[in-house]
Structure 1
């Protein structure tokens, strides 16, 4: 009887505690109701444009026919995945996408960090803001404009670079039709367009560094380079790790528009990637189910990379994303 009474008292106490906690939670929500209201547009955006469309990936397991509709199309299971993985083209697509992704990680990702560290060391405010504005501008230009500028500079028909080579006695180089130059151009264009914009997050993180840390480092005899290495860089290390993890989630997203505009018959062997293949098979040829299977495979790889990199980051003592 005593045990039953104790259990009943414990349950009653737990129920009462939950009720009190619930009331406190409701009071906090009411007190911060305007903050929750500000969250609403973002939540609705992700629900409508990110989560609701997810049901569409089911057509990767169907033989989708538009005239039959989504639900009446025949289920085919893993047929499209078997076809994709068994196609010799799969390894070429994987290789091309992987190489471009590695180029972006190795050559592009560190540059916003380096530029942010350099800008942070500038003491003349006007000069610093001018440099920031100049490096931001390319981000606001579309890929059509960027690629058009590249064509104007490197075409053999009056291009500035080739005309310079010719004036120096050399022979014109057909950069735009060369498979050897394709990856270099793709990476260089990404660097030109996005490096400046990528510095914003790092500069924001650097603005939170306590000036007293620099003062203490100077008292200890640290020069500017040592202050950067031992004060500035550690302050943004967690930000670098988080952005790298998020970047790996888009590891196979090499960018459709840019590559599609740079592709031609001479460089397709090294330039065809998952994004352009999905467009050509899905939109141009109407193979909706097959192209959805390809896109789903790419998304799953991104999810695995994010989970794995986040796990490794936490094991190494970093915060990670979750």
Structure 2
């Protein structure tokens, strides 16, 4: 198998590069580093290309579902493994590969701990090459298959909030059950879901997106400050939109999501639904999801997710056109993008 060597350096590249491609969501850098390092301590996780598998082999998506800013969230590595065990029993067939739902500081290393424990390799074909808010956007257009039965396992929470569920049914209903479970568990759950064949993933997923995250992380961490930001922009073929001071920030955690608005220099507005959805300067739209909009610390160059923004921070905002990203077919599905407008109150 064409194995991509996973070591401590790769973990850092994947997490920091994933944070950039998270576009404001995709989890926290510190937790991504923790999970990645624990995976290396637990065993020998393997990351391989999709071409090393047979078309009929079965893949399962592993993910985190919930609101990154939730105060009572509690997910540990063993929760990931337990969720995988649940969905494996529901599927009733052997699983040959694990795939993450998206890129993000935590999301890019989804599956590495499970791979270390089980020996099942992680496949470099995420459901989406950037982070996105809803489970439907990370379901590789399974919503278009009327007879598809979604199997999902979700685990998370601490003490009386501990939640462990297995659900099978229509994709939308199963995803809704898991989203509600994340709320009951304190904000976030580890999830394994939606078994698909390699052939289907090839048609609808994002092959090579983890490698892209690793490359972005290497570009970022090989430089400092403004040079790091410039290196990321060059690697992704994007551009610098604005640099300035955060003059306004509002965040609400509702329905299992972080929703809000931040302003920079009183004239730049970014909306977010976990991930950044729009960027406007003086009322003019500069970028819209699924274009990548991302904030980085203007001094250190490190990524800053939407849930970590604070008034007074010095931030740089970069944008990357969707055409430059490795995206799933879901990012072309207008039905899946429509709910964004209801949440942020702006057209996409």
Q: TM-score, normalised by structure 2?
A: 0.23
When Rg is computed on C-alpha atoms for both structures, the one with the higher figure is 1
Greater fraction strand: 2
Q: TM-score, normalised by structure 1?
A: 0.24
